[in-house]
Chain A
């Protein structure tokens, strides 16, 4: 079978050279002369780094940290209602949207008929999670968002499966440590107030655990 040689050509390319033309060294290159200008570069960098030691590129990691944007996709947070209970209604959208299949939910009836369901078990396997943020995009309740917390080291695999109580831990509710959450640019005031309500743990502490049904439910729903 014969093949038309023109068909083997790449589109837009007329010439496929068969010869290799390696670069020839100049006389200056032969006697290692350009190394001097290279040396100047390293010396310049050394002195500039010494002079501007505060502006140096490296950071001393655990003490010093890089600033990340408010979109950073880090450790997940399950947001809470004002009474401190979990906002999630166990609709399984996040578990469906997850490409890594790392979210495990077990749902149960909620005593309040207006809420209907809540998760008894809500686990994220942090070793499986790829931090794509699809769960945040999928959530119709603003129940799962992300923090900018990126150090998650574990001693064993069992620790990597993070349960409901850890995902609701108060350390994550610091507003400055929040990460990726749906469309943070164009959020309106109502959603911001929803979130404030969701994070108002001080109010939750004042109200106590029992007094939460009915009147204290977030107004936005």
Chain B
């Protein structure tokens, strides 16, 4: 599919991988192509990407935990968790104009300047989200009804999880402290003060708890970034071979008009080569392996989704458990069909 379209046109497709946190998918793809091009997004775009990636992660964890609990019959948590999600969608929508499939990134930056309300909106969300997370934690974290259904169910040891190729929260719940943001830092993660939460249970209960801990880490990361303040500059690289010119320039200057037409008709000219780039998606390592043959279109793109290895171990995981545990396990693994399709 990507092979018949330009590099820029692939971005909306990546939205559909893990649609609960489509922003992170955009970032992963764009960063890989930026690597191929040998450019870096400007500081403001990187800053905004980090913040919005963390918000997307919170949203994804909320959806995952909420739906796990609703599968177990605890509907209330679902409502509490969907409020942060709804409000984060509002933030994403103010940045890029769409709620679910955001397509907010472009190769070399973001699709538009950040809105003037961006920082205030983020701060409002930081006030709004934690009480609801606390509420859910009070409701279920020490609730024996939930623990009976989840502790020791579908447990996976750290060694087996690594052998299956697990990454992300599920792996960290099994005691392996592997996080792409820490092991291969990108964007601003190496400048932030945060830790990789690890639990030893490897079961549904610990997968639930690790996501709660990660939500808190993400909130603290966003707070640190907001305290640093928005960096100066533009949201996309200043290179007419990569970024579309502003509309004003396009309407009024001959050169910009030509660049505009060339970029749309031929696409970004990525030099020949191949690169693997990965980000920490909400479910684990989300990798893109891109090969360019120097034409305006990708020669091949391979996506390494986090869900696929996790879901392939499902039958092993369910060995000896009951049918009702299947439902709970599926929710806890956060299986997203968009990433399984291949």
Contact = CB atoms under 8 A, between A and B. Distances in A.
A180 B9 CA distance: 18
B94 A71 contact: yes
Interface string A41-76: 110010000000000010000000010110111000
Interface in A162-200: 179-180, 182-188, 190-191
A96 interface: yes
Interface residues of B, number: 69
Contact of A19 (B83, B96, B157, B246): B157
Nearest to B177: A13
B147 A35 contact: no
B323 to A, nearest CB: 21
Nearest to B203: A22
Given A12-B183, A17-B159, A133-B111, A73 B135 contact: no
Contacts, number: 181
B158 A140 contact: no
A158 interface: no
A10 B76 CA distance: 38
Interface string A6-26: 001111110111111111011
Contacts of B98: 72-73, 131-133
B205 interface: yes
B174 interface: yes
A93 B264 contact: yes
Contacts of A72: 93, 97-98
A111 interface: no
Interface residues on A, range: 35 or more
Interface SS of chain B: helix, strand, loop or mixed? helix
Contacts of A201: none
A137 B139 contact: no
Contacts of A130: 12, 101, 103
B182 interface: yes
A137 B107 CA distance: 14
A144 B9 CA distance: 18
B130 interface: no
A183 to B, nearest CB: 6
B251 A34 contact: no
5 contacts: A15-B177, A16-B158, A130-B12, A184-B112, A191-B247
Interface of A: 8-13, 15-23, 25-26, 28-30, 32, 34-35, 37-38, 40-42, 45, 57, 66, 68-69, 71-73, 93, 96-97, 99-100, 130-134, 137-138, 140, 142, 146, 179-180, 182-188, 190-191, 220-221
Given A130-B12, A140-B261, 19 more contacts: A10-B176, A12-B177, A13-B178, A15-B176, A20-B152, A20-B203, A21-B200, A25-B147, A32-B145, A45-B80, A71-B115, A73-B97, A99-B9, A99-B13, A132-B98, A133-B103, A142-B251, A190-B248, A191-B251
